[in-house]
Amino acid sequence: MLVNIIFLDYERHTFTEQVKNKNFSNAGYDFSFTQVGMKGISRALNYGISRSKAFDAVVTMANDILMPDNWLLRMVEAALNIPNTGMCGIHCVEGINPLQTINGIQIHPQDASFGNVLIPISAIEKIGYFNEAYDPYGMQDSDYAYRLKMTGHINYYLHDLRSEHIGHDIGQDTPYRKMKDEGLSKCDYLWARETQKYQDNNDYTIFQSEYEI
């Protein structure tokens, strides 16, 4: 499985080198990477996806999450054994569901997997790109996971692994935090609007010609 990491590195670079040094050295599996510094998480991810068509999977990676040893090896192993993998993640934030075993792989199925996740290109080809209506910041990961689930994919965390979010910035008066607060202020409205649109049209895909290569 050929993997391309989409490394998001907009505005705040406090932890960039620390995260790259650790996550790139302890992956346990070969990969390529595309570093993206543009504003808007969905827009940046979509740009990275458009540069990953020659790969079998992408990993979406934030510049403030540290991964455990052999994280990518474990993700690839799971994705190869669970053919309908949507988002394969390593638990970092939010709750975690009970353990299940699928094709010998121990996982925690979730409605959405947060943090750094592996997404097979086969899943991306089925539902398309991230929804840029949530930009610059918001529920783009929940939206994508919802669309994956509604098209028969499984989102999950791998068992017995944990990642670490080191970029807590609540209450900080920085341009990056202001960007996040701008997105969060409208995320509930956008979530209701976008998910209703998918349901009404029975269409969970987003394809944008500007990203086709």
Residues 41 and 8 sit within 8 Å (Cβ to Cβ)? yes
Task: Return d(Cα 167, Cα 189) in angstroms, integer.
Answer: 26
Question: In 10 A of CB 172, how many CB atoms?
Answer: 11
Q: How many CA atoms within 13 Å lie on the side-chain side of 18?
A: 12
User: What is the architecture, at CATH level 2, of domain 3-211?
Assistant: Alpha-Beta Complex (3.90)
Domain boundaries, the chain: 3-211
Cis, peptide link before residue 136, omega less than 30° from 0: yes
Per-residue pLDDT of the chain (213 residues; tens, 9 = 90+): 999 999 999 888 889 999 999 999 999 999 999 999 999 999 999 999 999 999 999 999 999 999 999 999 999 999 999 999 999 999 998 899 999 999 999 999 999 999 999 999 999 999 999 999 999 888 999 999 999 999 999 999 999 999 999 976 556 667 666 777 776 778 899 999 999 999 999 999 999 877 764
